[in-house]
Structure formats: structure tokens, C-alpha cells
Amino acid sequence: MIRRYQNTIFLTLLLALASVFSVADAQNAPEASEEGKRVYEKSCAHCHGTEGRGDGSAAENLLPRPRDFTRGLYKIRSTETGQVPTDQDLFDIITEGMPGTSMPGWDTSLSANERWEVVAYIKTFYDGFKENTAPRQIDLSGKIAYAEQSIETGKALYTELGCVECHGNVGRGDGTSAPTLTDEWGFQTWPANLAQGWTFRGGSETEDIFKRFIGGIAGSPMPAFEGDSFLHFGLTSEESKRLTELENKDEMTEAEDEESAAFYEKMDAAVDIALRITEGETLNAADRQSFNNAMKVVYEKSWHLANYVKSLSPEKRPEPAIGNNALRSQYIGGELPTLGDAAWETLKASYFPLVGQVILEPRQFNPTIDSVNVKSFYNDNEVAFLFTWDDRTHTTASEDEETGKMLEDAVAIQFPVKVPQGPTAPKPYFLWGGRLPVYLWYWKASAPEQVTELTAKGISNAEVQAVQSDLQAEGTYTDGQYNLWVKRALKTDDKKDLQLEPEVFVPIAFSAWDGANGDVEAKRVISSWYTFVLEPVPSSRRFIYPPLVALLSVGALFGLRGFARRRNS
């Protein structure tokens, strides 16, 4: 399927040239100046390189690499496939930065004037900007509102049009092709996790997403609307559905074979018309009509897809589990729920963002795991946790080519051995302890039903505890997501274990490894210390005293009135 996209890139460029949508306003960056060069060299060159080739001194450690400006490929544009961005596009991306990458936003550290100057300057790296024709902009006027119906349509299209191959069944970036993708410059690149809209490079509004479909993400393997195959250019929605159905069959009958061939002929014909437009031919009314119809279908599909993608993420990145959002284990009378129990759905997860471990060698500069979500219940004797995190690949054992080490997905949950008494009391070092030891639960993908207890006094000084408590665990991997369920008694006999008591705030921290991203040993993603508590059962007095107070106040008011009346008479 991917090869098919490549075959059509050329066509796409022509197609884009052919289409007849609105034209950008006049370019508005100033002429390139010394000022632009000064700003660039101070703020951008160490990543993008003095010559704009994306080879600054920081580049080596970064993925995605800082952009090479000499090729004129820009991911985030309001212009059609194959076009350069408008000045406003460049200004906006420099202002906002690119979420999920090291490209920062410059809204506070450079003045608007400086940003315009640097826009003019980076344009000098690519000759394509010198052509005086304004790039054609994507027409947003046909926006289809964000609503149930459109989301459903988008969902069907998502499977039909092959997004699944890269982005996975439910969009977590775990498709079968995901680990194989490279960008224009040959560097590995991962499909976006569509459930984490806050990592979209170009913003997560439906308009933003829509523009990525029509305009493409230049330089990335993510296909744009590319003529005959990607969005089934030239077919109606029904025909497109039918074609997908046929292609998904293991074997086609002769009649079906012919039917599918006919669809391809139809798409070829549509592309042919598009080509004739680029060649400057004036079309007859019928051809013009069929071209316009084909374009309309592609635009509509893209709006539905954008609405569907939008529906996959929360409105914004969840708040980290600090302060009021701290992880609170909820009390339950009876048995604790097991993995898959509906009771888990009743809890709101606490969100723990993770960062690359860049504190000790070997470092992880380009993490692929964003966060871990945690829920917890406890009863009189035990506590159960549900840890959930997204990982695009399920790696149980793969040998690292460079080091020969075995790479594997894993997670570790860290507590102090002794809970510090009071906010100023010493804690163990947040990175697997130091002078004071930490108590760890270590789980790996190759042994999903086992959690090992460790004691660590430093990242390379961890040992498996001689006495393993009776920890129950169950881990699953589905559609790009791990779910790990762990249950332990509140109290154990082992002095090296953390002992839990209701109402006591306990430090908690995480480490996670994505084997496919080269994570192993110290190279991993981590969090600093957070806190968790076995939330006290809310006192039943809350149902007794407040009504009592209210009743008393009613009594008092009546008393007061009686008193006033008696005085009056």
C-alpha cells in the first residue's frame, strides 16, 4: 500500500497545481536583512545549522531532526500539496513551536518584529521562495461541523483508507507499518498517536488536522491526498467503500476482479482529467464537472476524517497528578476489581507525564512514551493498581544491533522503603534512590503475569529482593496500549517493602522502557516524585451534621421572628 503512495507523489504535485482554490494574500515578510541573520544565528543556528541545513551542534541528539531549510519542505502549511508555505504559516510555526518535538515556540523570547525578520531570513535558504507566484491556500469554507454523524463517517473512512496501517486500529500510532517509517532525510519517524492531540505538530483543531490531509506533511511518510489511491480520488463514497471491501477479500471472483479493475480505470480517468488541467487544456463541461465532483468528495472525506481524529483525544493534555490531582486510591468494601472489571471505568485516572532520562549516561533524548495513567482501589487488606500507558510497539525481546543488549518493553513503579515523615524529611533520590533506598515493582512484557520486587540504591545498584511478597499481576497489550494490573497486601512481613496505611501521603515515581526506541537499563523515560494516598473513606458525619446545622438555623430564624413579634405587641 505504501509503495502505491509513492507512485502517486508526482501526480499529486501536478494535481495540486491543477486545482482551483483561493490564492494566498500577498506575502508579508520583509526583505531578508542583517537583523534576520543576527536573530537566526543567535536563536536557531545551533539546531538548524548556520547554512540552514539542519545540522547544528544540537541536531545529532534530536529526533525529529531540526529541519533542513534548503529543501523547502515544510510540514505545517495552509497551502496545498507541493506548495511552499505562506509567510504567515512560517511566522505562526515559529511563534507556536512544534509540540512533541524540540522545536520551541518563540512567542515570548522573540518580538513579533524579530520573528518576521527571521522568516525572511530562512526563506533565503531555498530558491523556491523566489518565484513570485503566491502559493495556493487550502479552502476551509466547506467545513463540516464536528458532530456525531461526521465522526462516524470519519471512523469508517479511517479504516477504509488505510490509516490503520500506520496509525493502528484506534489511532495510537501502532499500525503494522509504524516501526518501518523513515522521513525524506532517512531518519526514523513514528506515526502520530492520534489519542494524544497535544503532540500534533501543527495543532489539534479540526481545521489544523484537515489542512494536514489536503496539504500533506511534507517530508514525512504520512501520505497527503494523493490522487488515485490514498483518498480514492475520482470515486464516490459508495464506490470507495466497495473497493475497500473487494480489496480486503482473500480471494476475488472473476466478476469482482473486473469490478475492482473498473474502479481503478475510473480513478485513472479522473487523474487524467486533472493532468489535462495542469497542462493548460480547457476542459469540456462534462470533464470539468467530474473533476469538481472528485475534488468535492476528497474535501468532504478529509473533514470527516479530521472530525474523527479530533474525537480521539481529550480536549487538552490532562493535568499532571500534583496537588488536588494526586493519585488517590479509593476504598472499596469487598474484593478488589481485577483487570477488565467495569469498576475501573468509574475512576478518573491520574496522569503522570514522563520525560527522557537525560541525567545519567546512557541518555534518552527522544522519548516515545508520553505518560502513564494510574487508577487504584484498596480494601481493608489489599491495594490494587491499574497502570496504563501507550507504546506503539510490543517488544518482548529484540537484540540491539549496536550493543547486543536485549531490548524489551517494561515499567517500574517506585516508592521509598520508608515514608518520609513531614514535607522536609529526606526522600530517596528520585532516580532509583541513593543514600536512602527505594522499593520497586518491576514488570516486563515478556513475563506479563509477574511483578518483581527490587530494592535500589541508585540506577545501577538495584537488586531483586530475596523475599518476594505475594504480588499478583496481569499485563496486556492491545492496540498500542499496555494495561498492567497489580495487587499487593497493604502490609507485608518484609522490612524492605513499603508498608501502606490509609491517609498517609506516599511518594511515587515511574520509569518506563520502550524496547523499540532503544530503551534499556538507564536509557528510559522517567518521572520525578509524585504522591499517592489511600484516600480515607469519607466520614459519614457529612450526612449528619450539615442537615442538623440547617435545621437549627431554621429554628433560630423562627425563634427570632417570634421574639420580634412578642416585643412588638
Partner 1 sequence: MKRLSLFTKCLIIFVGCWVFLRFIVGNVISVPIPGSVVAMYMGLIIIAILVHISVEDSRFREFLRPIHETLIDDNKRLRRRVIAVLIPFALLAYTYSIFAQRANPPGNPRDAHPSPPLELTYKDEVIGKMQEVENPFRHYEKDDPEAFKAHVENGRRVYYQNCFYCHGDDLDGQGHFAPHLQPLPANFQDPGIIPNFQESFLFWRISKGGPGLPAAGTPWDSAMPVWEDMLTKDEIWDVILFLSDYTGYQPRTFGEGH
| Degrees to nearest 5, angle at CA 230 with 225 and 233 | 75
Least distance CB 298 / ligand HEC (angstroms): 11
Among 261, 397, 464, 564, binds partner 1 (CB under 8 A): 564
Burial of 406 (0-12, 13-18, 19+ CB in 10 A): middle
Q: What radius of gyration do the chain's Cα atoms show? A: 29
**β-bridge pairing 371-378 and 327-331:** parallel
- Axis crossing angle, helix 148-160 with helix 285-311, rounded to the nearest 10: 100
Which residues ranging from 353 to 412 are in contact with partner 1 (CB under 8 A)?
A: 353-356, 358-361, 365
Which residues ranging from 73 to 132 are in contact with ligand HEC (CB under 6 A)?
A: 74-76, 90, 93-94, 98, 101-103, 106, 118, 122
Residue labelled with grid coordinates 491520574: 350
Least distance CB 67 / ligand HEC (angstroms): 4
DSSP structural state of residue 326 = S
Q: How many residues lie near partner 1 (CB under 8 A)?
A: 67
Nearer to partner 1, 264 or 430 (CB): 430
The residue among 430, 345, 356 whose CA lies nearest residue 388 is 345
By CB under 6 A, tell whether 354 contacts ligand HEC.
Answer: no
Task: Report d(CA 264, CA 275) in Å as an integer.
Answer: 16
Among 428, 437, 480, 515, binds partner 1 (CB under 8 A): 428
Task: Report d(CA 143, CA 489) in Å as an integer.
Answer: 55
Which residues ranging from 17 to 46 are in contact with partner 1 (CB under 8 A)?
A: 42-43, 46
Site string for ligand HEC, 357-376 (x = CB under 6 A): -xx-----------------
Helices marked H in 312-360:
none
212 backbone dihedrals φ, ψ, rounded to 5°: -65, -30
Among 50, 57, 182, 293, binds partner 1 (CB under 8 A): 57
DSSP structural state of residue 109 = T
Query: Binding partner of residue 529 among partner 1, ligand HEC, none, CB under 5 to 8 Å per kind?
Result: partner 1
Site string for ligand HEC, 174-193 (x = CB under 6 A): ---x---x-------x-xx-
Bridge partners, residue 390, by sequence: 481
By CB under 8 A, tell whether 316 contacts partner 1.
Answer: no
136 backbone dihedrals φ, ψ, rounded to 5°: -80, 135
Q: How many residues lie near ligand HEC (CB under 6 A)?
A: 50
Query: Binding partner of residue 326 among partner 1, ligand HEC, none, CB under 5 to 8 Å per kind?
Result: partner 1
User: Three-class SS of residue 391?
Assistant: coil
Site string for ligand HEC, 38-67 (x = CB under 6 A): -----xx--xx---------x---x-x-xx
Query: Binding partner of residue 284 among partner 1, ligand HEC, none, CB under 5 to 8 Å per kind?
Result: none
Nearer to partner 1, 335 or 501 (CB): 501
The residue among 481, 454, 439 whose CA lies nearest residue 349 is 481
**Residue of minimal Cβ distance to ligand HEC:** 163
Contact of 220 with 281, CB cutoff 8 Å: no
Task: Report d(CA 330, CA 141) in Å as an integer.
Answer: 49
Nearer to ligand HEC, 92 or 408 (CB): 92
Stretch that binds partner 1, among 145-153, 300-308, 416-424, 471-479 (CB under 8 A): 416-424
Contact of 64 with 187, CB cutoff 8 Å: yes
Q: Is the dihedral of CA 36, 41, 46, 48 positive or negative?
A: positive
Query: Binding partner of residue 535 among partner 1, ligand HEC, none, CB under 5 to 8 Å per kind?
Result: partner 1
Instruction: Please count the other Cβ atoms lying within 10 Å of the Cβ belonging to residue 120.
Output: 22
Q: Tell me, rounded to whole angstroms, the distance of Cα 276 from its chain centroid.
A: 40
Contact of 413 with 529, CB cutoff 8 Å: no
Among 104, 179, 318, 502, binds partner 1 (CB under 8 A): 104
By CB under 6 A, tell whether 487 contacts ligand HEC.
Answer: no
239 backbone dihedrals φ, ψ, rounded to 5°: -65, -40
User: Three-class SS of residue 325?
Assistant: helix
User: Three-class SS of residue 16?
Assistant: helix
DSSP structural state of residue 188 = B
Indicate left, alpha or beta for 186 from its phi (over 0: left) and psi (-120 to 50: alpha). Answer: left
Query: Binding partner of residue 23 among ligand HEC, partner 1, none, CB under 5 to 8 Å per kind?
Result: none
Task: Report d(CA 144, CA 355) in Å as an integer.
Answer: 37
Nearer to partner 1, 325 or 465 (CB): 325
Query: Binding partner of residue 222 among partner 1, ligand HEC, none, CB under 5 to 8 Å per kind?
Result: ligand HEC
Query: Binding partner of residue 234 among ligand HEC, partner 1, none, CB under 5 to 8 Å per kind?
Result: none
By CB under 8 A, tell whether 559 contacts partner 1.
Answer: no
Among 4, 261, 292, 545, binds partner 1 (CB under 8 A): 545
Stretch that binds partner 1, among 25-33, 71-79, 99-107, 194-202 (CB under 8 A): 99-107
| Cα 372 to Cα 78, 366, 391, distances in angstroms | 34, 17, 10
Nearer to partner 1, 2 or 358 (CB): 358
Query: Binding partner of residue 568 among partner 1, ligand HEC, none, CB under 5 to 8 Å per kind?
Result: partner 1
Q: How many CA atoms lie within 13 A of 333 on its CB side?
A: 0
User: Three-class SS of residue 330?
Assistant: strand
Residues that bind ligand HEC (CB under 6 A): 2, 43-44, 47-48, 58, 62, 64, 66-67, 74-76, 90, 93-94, 98, 101-103, 106, 118, 122, 158, 161-163, 165-167, 177, 181, 189, 191-192, 194, 200-202, 209, 212, 217, 220-223, 305, 309, 358-359
Residues that bind partner 1 (CB under 8 A): 42-43, 46-47, 56-58, 60-61, 101-102, 104, 106, 108-109, 320, 322-324, 326, 328, 353-356, 358-361, 365, 422-424, 426-430, 434, 436, 503, 505, 527-529, 531, 533, 535-536, 538-539, 541-542, 545-547, 549-551, 553-554, 557, 560-561, 564-565, 568
